[in-house]
């Protein structure tokens, strides 16, 4: 038996952030491109773009800024707010995960 869990952030506008959005932000950061990130998770560019737009509306700030020009003709990078959210979500997740496992062991596996 193992314990499973799922987290997400929600406000009056609905679900505003969670594992899926966290994953796509990480991929945009790594690839420098929303198009490439979308491709990796088998999402169309317009779906990915709509997802980001929807999150931005719910969060109340922009997540992506457009890089103009350069050899690859632009791309996307994360705003400071997106990086901060990503870091906080990651810290939160790791700390909670550790606590969950500790509590699960102590409650369910005692003796």
Q: Which is nearer to its own copies, 3 or 72 (CB)?
A: 3
Q: Let me know: does 8 contact 17? Beta carbons within 8 Å.
A: yes
Please report, as ranges, the residues that interact with its own copies according to CB under 8 A: 1-11, 15-16, 88, 91-92, 95-96, 99-100, 103-104, 107-108
Give the shortest CB-75-to-its own copies separation in angstroms.
29
Q: Which is nearer to its own copies, 21 or 75 (CB)?
A: 21
Q: For helices 45-59 and 19-31, what crossing angle results, to 10°?
A: 120
Please give the span between the terminal C-alpha atoms of the chain, in angstroms, as a whole number: 16
Q: Which is nearer to its own copies, 47 or 57 (CB)?
A: 57
Q: Let me know: does 25 contact 77? Beta carbons within 8 Å.
A: no
């Amino acid at each position: 038996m193992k314990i499973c869990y799922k987290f997400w952030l929600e406000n009056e506008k609905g679900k505003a952030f969670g594992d899926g959005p966290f994953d796509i932000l990480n991929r945009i950061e790594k690839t420098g491109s929303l198009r490439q990130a979308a491709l990796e998770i088998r999402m169309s560019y317009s779906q990915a773009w709509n997802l980001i737009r929807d999150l931005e509306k719910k969060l109340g700030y922009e997540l992506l800024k457009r890089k103009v020009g350069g050899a690859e003709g632009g791309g996307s990078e994360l705003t400071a707010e997106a990086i901060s959210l990503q870091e906080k979500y990651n810290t939160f997740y790791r700390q909670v995960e550790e606590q969950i496992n500790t509590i699960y062991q102590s409650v369910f596996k005692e003796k």
